Chains A and B, each alone.
Chain A
């Protein structure tokens, strides 16, 4: 595919922030974080996407533009809606309190509590991704 075609299918990334570099950096951060949360290695994901590992590194560092197809495939792999990564999914940022679950485990550690919260957020995004 040549440069012209490539640009045609380029994603319209987040409307805000208006700085493209900043938007790419945020997108890269979210993609990296999602990958790490699932315990996937860069090599594994790069192979899945059929791109060089260095290309994935560049994406996660905000140094490479992400094609729409790539983003869709990443979102599918990470089981999250595309909007979760582009920042368009506002609900994604709301923390979930799992305190009500802790009824039996009063001595729940801070770390476990935050793992539960993070997991609940993952489940929420995942269920939204499934609906899309």
Chain B
């Protein structure tokens, strides 16, 4: 039964998403391993057929006959593919009528958007927001990164949050407002800054061919984290380096993993003292469709002793989803074989 009014529909969608999180034990998994809500893996776990296909006008579709199934377009960035898949999963979980979904699912994100009278869609929207961007996930990443509420007014922090929860910058801004971390007016202020500007600022002098890829700012706070990105993404590492004690980050380890270091410089923390730490800033472009564990050590280069610190992250830069089965399903099928 689809809700009969707007608030009930939002509530129903939100609750259905929370129930599914519980059923799949997602919160515990993410709080242990980091990363985002793997929507495609969840869909596969429910044995809901899903294919990614080159849809043009549609972002996705949910069919219920001859059996339930979800289509998601190849033609959008990963964040939109994820949101679309979450929306279609909402239709499935709430036993909705078949639905062909276009841009309107994104246009309904802003809090003050004209509410649609189609409560089935309201339910699926609320489901998608809660399933992909629950409050606890935002709070977990904020705690991890040391962000407090005032940081959510800084576009650069919100952009990095959006990458870590696997949502678009815009969706993240509205979600912060929905969860009341910020005011709706502040969400609109955040949206005055385009992700492109933040990428340019992070990359400084380095100019990629285009600014479509995202730019991950990685620090010690990301140690042990999962990085789920896309093919053209770039890394900017910003690491405290105890070079006054002889310790340097071994950037060659990045190169050994196939990354190209396009920029490597230092930023002073302290202009006066002698021997204090510095900030090592390294910009690296990953090899094509990189997937693996990236580890770099801070060590005394001449000394075989164990490293002082290690930054290890599990990186998957194979997004967005390509034509056919989702990566999650593909891996379960083929890597288990």
Contacts and interface: CB of A to CB of B under 8 A. Distances in A.
Assess A/B contact in the complex (Cβ within 8 A). Answer: yes
A109 B52 contact: no
Given A119-B61, A120-B65, 16 more contacts: A36-B324, A37-B51, A39-B322, A39-B323, A40-B330, A47-B337, A79-B49, A102-B100, A105-B102, A109-B56, A116-B61, A116-B63, A116-B100, A123-B66, A123-B68, A126-B49
A61 to B, nearest CB: 21
A115 interface: yes
Given A47-B334, A108-B58, A39 B52 contact: yes
A107 B55 CA distance: 13
Contacts of A120: 63, 65-66, 69
Contacts of A36: 324
A75 to B, nearest CB: 13
B55 A105 contact: no
Contacts of B69: 119-120, 122-123, 126
Nearest to B121: A104
Contacts of A96: 66
Nearest to B50: A119
Nearest to B100: A105
A37 B323 CA distance: 8
Interface string B73-109: 0000000000000000000000000111010000000
A124 B66 CA distance: 5
Given A109-B57, A112-B56, A127-B66, A104 B100 contact: yes
Interface of B: 49, 51-58, 61, 63, 65-69, 71, 98-100, 102, 322-325, 330, 333-334, 337
A39 B324 contact: yes
A38 interface: yes
A2 interface: no
Contacts of A79: 49
A111 B54 contact: yes
A102 B102 CA distance: 12
Contact of B53 (A47, A105, A109, A115): A115
